Structure 1
Amino acid sequence: MKALLTFLLFSGVIMTSHSQIKVNHIAVHVSELEASKKFYENIVGLKEIEEPFKDGLHAWYDIGSGAALHIIEAPNTPTEISKVNHLCFSMEDMDSFIQTLKDTNYPFESWVGEKGKVTIRVDGIRQIYIQDPDGMWLEINDDY
């Protein structure tokens, strides 16, 4: 059931008893907008899109299927860091992404925390974990 819900969330449309809904955006609290923008653009490879606030505290990124990632600079960034609470992005060319991490000396690890290692899930999907500048975990997998 959890795998089905994850698939439906990331495919963009969910059927409920009332109507269809789709993921609009995911908001992430960051402590330094510029550092986080560099991470999401240069490491993850997201493309920044127009954001309406123009206040220097927000950046929005296209994450596919009409959904966006909103990063928002605010004081008192939550301090709980858990790999269980993570964002997940699927890469079309995971080998190239891993090579970019190696080329830039950006650390990644397996689910169990082995540095520079890839986890292969029971369904054959490869996944790694990286952290953004505030320590938030991101899963990167090849379930593209």
Structure 2
Amino acid sequence: MNTAGFHHVAVICSDYEKSKHFYVNILGFEVIQETYRAARNSYKLDLRVGEQDAIELFSFPDPPARVSRPEACGLRHLAFQVSDIEATVAYLQSQGVQSEPIRLDELTGKRFTFFSDPDNLPLEIYEH
């Protein structure tokens, strides 16, 4: 397999408008395209993250709950690279988004912390 990188990460939300506000207005991701699929009664929102990465935000009627804390089996978390972790944490807090205390990655010497999206999906900010 000759992989060039990630094409996108898909996230299913329980409250489309709340999650759209979070990812677009709080995290600042650019809307590429928004599609309403009447046959599925669902939205698909394509978001640009950074220069080339993307998140697909999906809404479905009554999606089942999923265990999502970082130590559960399956997808552990999504990590976003930032240049200034303290400024990012301060910004998130100003928007009402709480994060865990900043920690140091003992393997890389880089700082990181976790916060959650509206559906409690664990998200990480990692300082580069």
Which TM bucket (shorter chain)? 0.7 to 0.9
1:78 to 45, 60, 65: 65
Shift of 1:20: 3.8
Return the alpha-carbon distance in structure 2 between the equivalents of residues 61 and 140 of structure 1: 18
1:107 maps to 2:71: no
The alignment-based identity, stated in percent, is 25
Greater strand content: 2
**Runs of 5+ consecutive residues of structure 1 not aligned to the other structure:** 1-15, 110-116
1:96 maps to 2:87: yes
**Runs of 5+ consecutive residues of structure 2 not aligned to the other structure:** none
Distance 1:94 1:73, change over 3 A: same
Are the equivalent residues in 2 in contact too, given 1:87–1:137 (CA < 8 A)? yes
TM-score by length of 1: 0.72
Question: Aligned with 1:135: secondary structure?
Answer: coil
Which residue of structure 2 lines up, in the alignment, with residue 4 of structure 1?
Answer: none
Written as runs of structure 1 = structure 2, the 5 A alignment for 1:116-135 is 117-122=101-106, 123-135=108-120
Return the alpha-carbon distance in structure 1 between the equivalents of residues 23 and 63 of structure 2: 21
TM-score by length of 2: 0.80
Return the alpha-carbon distance in structure 2 between the equivalents of residues 103 and 118 of structure 1: 16
**What amino acid is the match of 2:83?**
E
Shift of 1:65: 5.2
